A and B are shown apart, each in its own frame.
Chain A
């Protein structure tokens, strides 16, 4: 009796393991898996959520089947800037879940950590946000759809120099993108006749900006160039500036669009009015595609505004879909990368193209001013520079 029972249990156990496994094998042939590795919890959770919303919205609008295959997103949470965790998650996705693509990455250190995994496993990896120049050079399987700091900073520096700004004090956050922004600004600004009178690098985990704001006030430069990553820092920085009267003083404040990220702009309130920034996406961008995108996003996600990170997720999926379609559902690492190169996408931000040489994004950079339209704060575009390549490479 006991032997019979144990044999039955053994048989059942075997069936239980083998059954789903065989089902998965059958399913696997018809699914394209995308391993989405992002910082869903921790200090960049808000950005990761915007990215995920963009991805989900794209899939909702365009269906989840391409070239006869179902697109499946497997999400993994890095929990913050944790390169070792990002690498481990990417490895697991490649080895255990057999993903066809890797995607995501809000912050640079996490993206950089995955380079070796992508190269060794030959997995096309779509960088949907991380914005330091060197990222795409670290692996031939990296392709970026978002932006780089030098790409959006250089046009701002040129504009400033051509519009009467002669001296600038730069304030950036001390990590990859910040240093990129500082160097790119200095290079472009000085090439156009300006002088950088001083610079400061603020720590990434800076809860308090009073010392930096006071320094600006005491130095009293003609203009200040600012870059801080968009989550909690922009609102705090602008509030601290406003409290000390810097936003209403004669000092001109210019910044990259991260400081006036659409997702946090309302929280900065009137402190941000009149701020001139440069970036690749504004929620108020006047195109039919963007209006449809914003409306669809509002319908799905209520009070949240889509921002450049959401667009990164959205366009990242667009790129993946385009490549899957081109390859007719048969994903091979090298063929996928060849398909990404030169890919053109019409994005809610404007037209973008993947540079065949660097696998980085070429796009239009807009100059915007923060204004109140219909009672809401928006980045109103007033000028643009087209086909900007990443000058950092």
Chain B
């Protein structure tokens, strides 16, 4: 019984880590600039397709494609930010939503056109396949890898935000943008870099997701819902909040499907509703 519970917790945590990597960028940029970037999941999808292209066409080993997906999508998102997003920083939320949803639809159609509508796959190294069972709990290697990556990214982000000058600027700008500008902080520059890092992480998440949940052109629309779930429950602008929310939602989803299969898929939404009723601004949200 306990072994089952621990196994479910582990699987849920792994799924949660995937959601974390996919969502943390959006949480920070929404908290920082208030810019509703619904195309975040499209960046994740493009990161996945980049990884697929690198492994299938150029024979790059899967693990090497992960940092490449991060850098590639960070660069791509900077391009979009310069050309398109900049114009709508002070526009209303509806305009931002319209723009970014339009980008999602374009991304879905482009990916379907360029790569086809079928499922894509990557070949992780053989040591990431399979599982081992310490104390009777099944721990999959790829899921362990996901937990590891998630933890490293979370620690890296927290360290970056708490201990570096740049991080201090980010936190200042999230807290009170006007004041930060008044103090001479280049908020636009801070946002541009944060946006690039956040979108890069989304791209990395997309590449990591392929082996766990698959990749096809509908990835962007499917995962947009989950990313928004995590961001709203975690609170905007908070790395810790996103981590907690992602872990909680991932575990609720897997535990729900294991213990209550009839209500399985609904658990994640039920937990979201309950948490938002308790804390409307999210677990660690500010406003």
Q: A residues near B, CB below 8 A?
A: 41-43, 45-46, 49, 200-203, 205-208, 210-212, 214-215, 217-218, 231-232, 235-236, 239, 243-245, 263-264, 267
Contact = CB atoms under 8 A, between A and B. Distances in A.
A85 to B, nearest CB: 15
A70 B129 CA distance: 55
A215 B222 contact: no
A40 to B, nearest CB: 9
A126 B91 CA distance: 49
A214 B212 contact: no
Most chain B CB within 10 A, of A205, A210, A217, A235, is at A210
Contacts of B138: 214, 217, 244
B70 interface: no
Given A42-B218, A201-B261, A208 B8 contact: no
B130 A211 contact: no
A234 to B, nearest CB: 9
Contact of A201 (B15, B218, B262): B262
A218 B213 CA distance: 22
Contacts of A263: 118
Count class of interface residues, chain B: 35 or more
Interface stretch (B93-101, B164-172, B229-237, B249-257): B249-257
A302 B210 CA distance: 25
B119 A243 contact: no
Contacts of A243: 129-131, 140, 142
B34 interface: no
Given A206-B265, A207-B213, A41 B112 contact: yes
Contacts of A211: 8, 11, 253-258, 264
B255 A43 contact: no
Given A205-B265, A243-B130, A210 B4 contact: no
Given A212-B257, A231-B119, 18 more contacts: A41-B109, A41-B112, A43-B222, A46-B117, A202-B264, A203-B264, A203-B265, A207-B222, A207-B223, A211-B258, A214-B11, A215-B258, A239-B211, A243-B130, A243-B131, A243-B140, A244-B140, A245-B131
Contacts of A207: 213-214, 222-223
A232 B223 CA distance: 14
30 contacts: A41-B108, A41-B112, A42-B218, A43-B216, A43-B222, A46-B117, A46-B118, A200-B261, A201-B262, A202-B257, A202-B264, A203-B265, A205-B265, A206-B257, A208-B253, A208-B257, A210-B140, A211-B8, A211-B253, A211-B264, A212-B258, A214-B7, A214-B138, A231-B119, A235-B121, A239-B211, A243-B129, A243-B130, A244-B131, A267-B121
Interface string B105-126: 0001100100011110100000
Given A206-B265, A208-B15, A214-B4, A45 B217 contact: yes
A340 B140 CA distance: 53
A359 to B, nearest CB: 31
B119 A267 contact: yes
